[in-house]
Amino acid sequence: MTKAIAQTYTTIHSYRVVIMRMLCVSCAVATVWYGLNVYEAISRTIVAEHLSAASDALSNSVNDLGTQYIKLANLASPSALAAHGMTVAGVTAYIPRSASLGSVALSSHEF
């Protein structure tokens, strides 16, 4: 009877050691996995912040260019351009009339 108890104790003790080792290894793996996930979340947050800052800088640059364009567009009036030697002319002065324009009109593509 004592031999059976001793053998049972030895068997249970060896299984208990294996189970405890597996639990310790699984806890270590879970800890490393958790650390990697936290690191990945932090790095993605930092990248998102950098992208947001870059987007804001680009938006500000576009807005500055838009205001400069509006200022320049307001300066380009016929009277201001006349000071530089430019005159107002009709659109037909820039479009030569050729036979191809007439053939397009004749083929009823133009109303």
Query: Between 99 and 44, whose confidence is greater?
Result: 44
Instruction: Copy the structure tokens of residue 54.
Output: 């870059």
The verdict on residue 37 lying in a domain is yes
The verdict on residue 48 lying in a domain is yes
φ/ψ of 87, rounded to 5, equals -120, 160
Q: Which of 97, 100, 79, 75 lies closest to 88, judged by CA?
A: 79
The verdict on residue 101 lying in a domain is no
| 18-41 pLDDT tens trace | 999 999 999 999 999 999 999 999
In the block, tokens 């068997």 appear at 11
- pTM greater than 0.85: no
The residue segments making up the domain with residue 16 are 2-83
φ/ψ of 12, rounded to 5, equals -65, -40
